[in-house]
Amino acid sequence: MTGVLRVSDMDAKTNNFRRHLRVAELWEVQVSYQRPLLSPIFDPELLATLEDGFLLAGVELQAEGNAGFRTVSEHRQLWLCIPRT
């Protein structure tokens, strides 16, 4: 999957966690539009640098259910990021 990796910070006042969050997102960027390619990962960590890229790990949140009963699951994600020219 090819896209633009964006890492940004979210202020505690603007998210539901009520704490500072760092978020990593992979975006498809075209001339006329941009859209996310994957669900974002929160609190990303650089695990290792490799010869041609790096490993990025974080937590993906998945909400399920309806308005009356909603559960949130956390899944650990590991992304292999290889820069392209």
Please say whether the beta carbons of 59 and 38 come within 8 A. no
Read off the pTM: 0.81
What is the predicted pLDDT for the residue at 53? 95
Give pLDDT, residue 35. 96
Tokens of 11: 């202020």
Domain that holds residue 10: 4-81
- Structural domains in the chain (count): 1
Confidence of residue 16 (pLDDT cuts 50, 70, 90): confident
pLDDT value for 49: 93
Q: What is the DSSP letter of 1?
A: -
Query: Given this model, what pLDDT does residue 85 score?
Result: 76
Give me 83's structure tokens: 């820069």
The answer to whether 46 and 54 have CB atoms below 8 angstroms apart is: yes
Q: Residue 9's closest CA among 24, 21, 19, 18?
A: 21
Residue-wise pLDDT tens digits, 30-62: 989 999 999 999 999 999 998 999 999 999 988
